[in-house]
Amino acid sequence: MHVVESFPHVAKKVSEKDNGIYDAMNKGIAMATGDIIGILNADDMYTDPGVLQKVVDVFLHPIVDAVYADLVFVDPINTDKIVRRWISRQHTETDFYYGWMPPHPTFFVRKSVYEKFGLFDTRLRSAADYELILRFLLKHRISSRHIPHLIIKMRNGGKSTASLKNRIIANHEDRKAWKINGLKPHFFTLILKPLRKLDQFFFNG
């Protein structure tokens, strides 16, 4: 078993203007020197020191190109207070047509996949993560595995769900994400996508 450090250290830090969050992520991917890339946003944190080891253990299987897991949304101040749970599962191709997607903050991908199939599409302002996941998992059908563990705490709140206006914009971008990839959703796919999040609020916490 390959052993990794409990938490990563910062090897390189860059502070400069960019064209939005996805442009910044693309810069990070381009600078990354490792074989596996995970993106941890400013309001996210790993749930425990063993998270990266769990991820690496799955990637020891050479056919695995991507790994994703489960996350919890927590109170912005009290990060021990859980307000939502996003529990995923091992997906099938048809799941995407019923509004499913894995939680992007838990999504780890081999760098070779980015090199082969591209980075985040910066033409999208709030759905570039959704588009990238569609492109990787549905269009190109890369091999992925679900880790049935909570690995990310995410402070509650988000750009795409902050208001009705933003939700409408997000729905429009979700449609573009399918079109960009030459994929055609069912008429109900993007109606179900936000509705699937409702059960995240019902849990025994």
User: How many Å apart are CA 166 and CA 159, to the nearest integer?
Assistant: 7
pLDDT digits (tens, 9 = 90+) for 160-202: 445 556 767 788 999 999 999 999 999 999 999 988 888 888 8
For residue 205, CA distances in Å to 66, 80, 85, 201 come to 29, 11, 9, 10
Mean confidence (pLDDT) of the chain: 90
pLDDT digits (tens, 9 = 90+) for 40-49: 998 899 999 9
**H or E segment at 8?**
none
Percent of the chain with pLDDT over 90: 74
pLDDT at 1 over 60: no
| Confidence tier at 78 by pLDDT (50, 70, 90) | very high
User: How many Å apart are CA 120 and CA 157, to the nearest integer?
Assistant: 22
Q: Are 102 and 91 in contact (CB under 8 A)?
A: yes
- Position 160 scores a pLDDT of 46
Q: Domain ranges in the chain? A: 21-201
Cβ neighbours of 102 (radius 10 Å): 23
- Position 7 scores a pLDDT of 54
Q: Are 62 and 156 in contact (CB under 8 A)?
A: no
Higher-scoring residue by pLDDT: 13, 204: 13
Superfamily of 21-201 according to CATH: Spore Coat Polysaccharide Biosynthesis Protein SpsA; Chain A (3.90.550.10)
Q: Are 91 and 147 in contact (CB under 8 A)?
A: no
